[in-house]
Structure 1
Amino acid sequence: MAFEPNVPPIQVHLCVKDGMAAIAFYEKAFGAQNTFCQLAEDRKRVMHSNLSVFGGEIMLHDEFPEFGGSVLSPETIGGTGVAISINLPAAAAVDAAYDRAIAAGASTVLEPQDTFWHARYARIQDPFGHVWAFNAPVAKP
């Protein structure tokens, strides 16, 4: 895969267990489009995948403990220290993104609500242990 000219300055790169299931989840939950997928030699695990979503890109791969296990999934380490924040254009988009993710199998961390920082905000955890936050501006009172 060649380095593409319009790579964003920051990208999300996720490690999961069952990469093909993760790709299917992100397609259903977030409307992601799988733009590249390279399977490992075992033809079961995802070596590398690019997903176009929310105007950005997610890179994704399965765990490969045989390569030293330096990058592990939240399932293996028992949680995550990161939340991925998706900034949306309108408050209604937060509710829609939350509802779609929950319907696809995500669990609620924080239901959609208006916050003190004048945003509509919600958090979910995907079935692979990653936490996602949806955020959009609301009018100041």
Structure 2
Amino acid sequence: MAIEVQPAVLPHLTVDDAAAAIDFYVKAFDAVEHNRIPGPGGKLIHASLGINGSMVMLNDDFPEMSGGKSMTPKALGGSPVTIHLVVNDVDKKFQQAIDAGATVVMPLEDQFWGDRYGVLQDPFGHQWSMGQPVREVDMAEIQNAMKGEGH
């Protein structure tokens, strides 16, 4: 019997200390832990969390599984990926993440595209943006703002 799946795209994060990352995500983003699978030596080979209605998977760094290279954002000198959260009460949620230990990359501000938006970095090197729509903006206004007109 085939198992029916719900297609999805899920971020899978590699971190230096998965157990600490889970604790951080619970405090910063109200994450709900679904499971954690420890491997030999206690490092987590897999964990999953619910964040903002979606699943996020994570694991400890295992350089031996990646050609001897660490795959954390800190080891790689950063990450080109930002995980975006659309939230209600963005000011409260942004501050909650800061209070939990996130650092501000881009301060929370009203943006020309209609969102109140900011970017944070978690203690493990991953970037998270948060946004909340605050006003309707039509495409012409966005295009004018991109050209530096009327902004």
Q: The TM-score by the shorter chain falls in which range? A: 0.7 to 0.9
Aligned to 2:145: none
Query: 1:76-120 CA distances to partner (integer Å, 9 max, x unpaired)?
Result: 1111111111112x4xx2111110000000000111111000111
Structure 1 moving runs of 4+ over 2 Å? 4-8, 68-71
- Residue 65, structure 1, aligned to residue 42, structure 2: no
* Aligned partner of 2:48 among 42, 47, 50: 50
Kept after mapping to 2: 8 A contact 1:30/1:101: yes
User: 1:21-60 to 2 correspondence within 5 Å?
Assistant: 21-43=20-42, 45-60=43-58
Kept after mapping to 2: 8 A contact 1:30/1:97: yes
CA RMSD of superposed structures (Å): 1.8
Ranges in structure 2 where 5+ consecutive residues have no aligned partner: 138-151
TM-score (ref. length: structure 1)? 0.88
Distance 2:4 2:97 in 1: 31
Kept after mapping to 2: 8 A contact 1:16/1:22: yes
Ranges in structure 1 where 5+ consecutive residues have no aligned partner: none
* Aligned partner of 1:137 among 133, 137, 141: 133
Aligned to 1:79: 78
TM-score (ref. length: structure 2)? 0.82
Aligned to 1:127: 123
Kept after mapping to 1: 8 A contact 2:70/2:76: no
Aligned to 1:103: 99
Higher alpha-carbon Rg = 2
SS in 2 for 1:128: coil
Aligned length: 134
Supply the AA of the counterpart residue of 1:86. L
SS in 1 for 2:19: helix
Q: 1:113 to 1:15 in 2, by over 3 A?
A: same
